[in-house]
A and B are shown apart, each in its own frame.
Chain A
């Protein structure tokens, strides 16, 4: 058993499942948005705002944002532990990714709920 402190999940399986689940959510979101663009004759401000007015869309968008952030963290964590053998560089890289991910999350919540 190899212990890690910076991985997202508690176990290898946990990360692996999260990675796949988040991929499915992102795909569903893209398909849903694609459907919206294809079936809306004219994308006006009102139509766009109407789309995001429902709680469903807000929650769905938030879930997708959460998926993007988790997916990015798990994936980039793996890349960094493969290709950045130097601990100082690895930690710096991971810190930057964490800051970007958390900022995106907070910013997304602000936009979605117009805070």
Chain B
């Protein structure tokens, strides 16, 4: 099977280039793309990429695989068409090969204050929630911050410093609906500008690529209705 991999070492290369690899993969093999990358690194130790958990939990190996963002560790090689073209996540500065600088992505995450803010008295043990209220967090808390969605979003490409992006907005909604959080109003006020939420054009690239099957577009719709309700 053929692999074309984006290579760029800013210290030695003038320009990024695609390196080709040919690898024998047995028919019916259940290899994941990450396994192949690890094999390739044995052939060429300079090949750089991030990975950690190798089971779709840590979110570190988000890559652009045959044009679509996904996690290498849970992408079966058998599901891919040869030649497999592997590039870093689009829209973010490349540090080296497949490793991108995620600073802008994390900055947006930080902006939405991804932690519980409660003015109520701190209970002795824990803040309780009814099972119904807890259920509202399903489909939101599972996000692993892999950035597959935000780097697939054109609005995030054009305005990564101003548009929070699908991942950050999914998290924003996760705290907006949390029954234990008392800062809903302030959170909404922080989002009500022309960029943070409203740059979402509903293209749903984010939904298409999320390896955890989450739906940022839906969460963004909920934020919009919350803004609408508090604004009229």
Contact = CB atoms under 8 A, between A and B. Distances in A.
Contacts of B159: 81-82
Nearest to B227: A13
Interface string B176-207: 00000000000001111111111100000000
A3 B158 CA distance: 17
A12 B158 contact: no
A7 interface: yes
A17 B228 CA distance: 9
Contacts of B45: none
B193 A1 contact: yes
Interface in B44-78: none
A2 B196 contact: yes
A54 interface: no
Given A81-B159, A82-B159, A83-B158, A12 B196 contact: yes
Contacts of A16: 198, 224
B231 interface: yes
B158 A13 contact: no
Interface string B97-119: 00000000000000000000000
Contacts, number: 54
B222 interface: no
B212 interface: no
Nearest to B161: A2
Interface residues of B, number: 20
B196 to A, nearest CB: 6
B167 interface: no
Nearest to B190: A1
B198 A13 contact: yes
A36 B197 CA distance: 41
A103 interface: no
Interface of B: 154-155, 158-159, 162, 189-199, 224, 227-228, 231
Interface of A: 1-4, 7, 9, 11-17, 78, 81-83, 85
29 contacts: A1-B190, A1-B191, A1-B192, A2-B162, A2-B195, A4-B195, A7-B194, A9-B194, A11-B192, A11-B193, A11-B231, A12-B193, A12-B194, A12-B195, A12-B196, A12-B197, A12-B198, A12-B227, A13-B227, A14-B231, A15-B194, A16-B198, A16-B224, A17-B228, A78-B194, A81-B158, A82-B154, A82-B158, A83-B158
